[in-house]
Structure 1
């Protein structure tokens, strides 16, 4: 899969000669709705015998036109993960455009002429609510007239689960509520994050539940505070365990949020390893216990539930 990182305005040296079917979207999460857009575009590309391309952006478009909180600046899928999923879906080429004020300041017609036509798109596919400028004008209903017969336009309807639209926004809300089961349903796969194993307080080892401490990219969206059933991929091996996102309130107040994972039947030094965490199920919220013994008792109960999850 070829990845093109582009800056507006496009340099004249950029040549895009091969005809493509182009799927448009930011695609944060690459959830079931996004997959429907890309799969629709792939089917058309296969039928026409041309390559499948994706047009996306290097950061949240909203960063250009409004102030976002630190939380809202985070992503469900960071760049490498997004590209990996695109490749799995059969994408041949990705156009990653730097979403700047100058890019946004184009008229809808200029966007079509400068990008969609120049990319040699024979068909452009996007979700029903996709916009490429002012939403009252730059919407999918108007794209065909802006195309002026130079390419076809295909609009993909939303994917609904229990009458609720599958969307990045609803996945973020589910994760904030620690509902990874719902988030996974909307994603069509298990939500996963990547991080680095670093040193922690080693308090878990004293309690009989040694943990690996994971440091995440500050831009990575994480599930809400709580205890979870997880799998962790280290190198080529996958380990089962239970993960905690929280502040360790039993031992110390006002601590920063950390991610700690107890891997079952595991005793290796893995500091410095890059890992992938798959978040399967929410177990419970964070509890402030009156003693270490009460915490240990609860952890044994959590382990039973987590192990049973993988058995069943």
Structure 2
């Protein structure tokens, strides 16, 4: 997959590029609804013998608009690119969502962005907006195309009676419902970070943990204990992760920590990157009256997490 970074006004578009099929959207999370739009574009590209491309935006438009709920994101840019690559996209255009770009009118977006890219067909979701203050809608895009390209509007994608959206994924994660988030995403929710030194308290109670410092402003799920899989290098290990403020030992942690105990693992991995996939929520974080009570609960959590990991692997291999 080729990645092309675009600044407005466009400067690095090859004059002979195109024609091409283009899917446009924020695609934060690359959930099932996003995948439907993208796969439709890819299929049209195959039918027309044209490359299929995606246009997305960085930073996220809602971050630029100062919406508090979007200070954290589901898929930082590198994670989003990796997921798009798996969807057989030929090119990803990453548009710098600058102050100048966000003030483009819908007409300017079409004439100064889409036409130079020589798009043949454009795919958007039913709730797509574009142009200054979201003035443009899919119907607007159809009108502005003026027969120069076709517009395909992909209808709402629903699951369990609800519209699949980035907002819904966020809500489920903040409730700790990672199984429902998995269903909406079509894969487990993943966090990537670097292993940093902690207090090494886990070693003293028989459950050493890797303290994860996330590398990007991810949406962090609700505090609690989770069954997980963690990729370390080329290998994947089952594990149990605690997200929270460690109330048994700490009194006033401002931010939650992420601690992962990996099963059947005894390596030193300080400074290494680890990608954690959240499989299931086990329980709320709580304060224990003694270290012995905590140890017994962690052992129980680990047993439950092992069961979840085996269950997931069984489904994957069937």
Are residue 96 (structure 1) and residue 94 (structure 2) matched? yes
Counterpart selection for 1:219 from 217, 220, 225: 217
Question: Could you tell me whether the CA contact under 8 Å between 2:52 and 2:89 is conserved in 1?
Answer: yes
The structural deviation recorded for 1:13 is 6.2
Q: Deviations over 1:247-288 (max 9, x none)?
A: 111011112311001111211111111111011000001010
After the TM superposition, which residues 82-161 of structure 1 pair with which residues of structure 2 at under 5 Å, given as runs?
82-133=80-131, 137-161=135-159
- Aligned-residue Cα RMSD (Å) equals 1.4
Report 1:205-216 matches (<5 A).
205-216=203-214
Give 1:106 deviation, angstroms: 1.5
Matched, 1:177 2:175: yes
Unaligned residue ranges in structure 1 (runs of 5+) = none
Q: Deviations over 1:88-108 (max 9, x none)?
A: 101101111111221121111
Unaligned runs of 5+ in 2: 312-318
Residue equivalent to 2:314 = none
1:201 aligns to what SS in structure 2? coil
TM-score computed with the length of structure 1 as normaliser = 0.96
Structure 2 equivalent of residue 57 of structure 1: 57
Structure 1 match to 2:232: 234
CA shift for structure 1 position 64: 3.3
**SS of residue matched to 1:300:** helix
Q: Which residue of 1 aligns with 2:79?
A: 81
In structure 2, how many angstroms separate the alpha carbons of the residues matched to 1:136 and 1:57? 14
SS in 2 for 1:11: coil
CA–CA separation in structure 1 for the residues paired with 2:147 and 2:234? 49
Following TM superposition, by how much is the alpha carbon of 1:62 offset from its aligned partner in structure 2, in angstroms?
2.1
Paired residues of 2:56 and 2:92 also in contact (CA < 8 A): yes
- Find runs of 4+ consecutive structure 1 residues off by over 4 angstroms: 134-137
Deviation at 1:28, TM superposition (A): 0.2
How many pairs does the alignment contain?
310
CA contact 2:20–2:121 (8 Å) conserved in 1 = yes
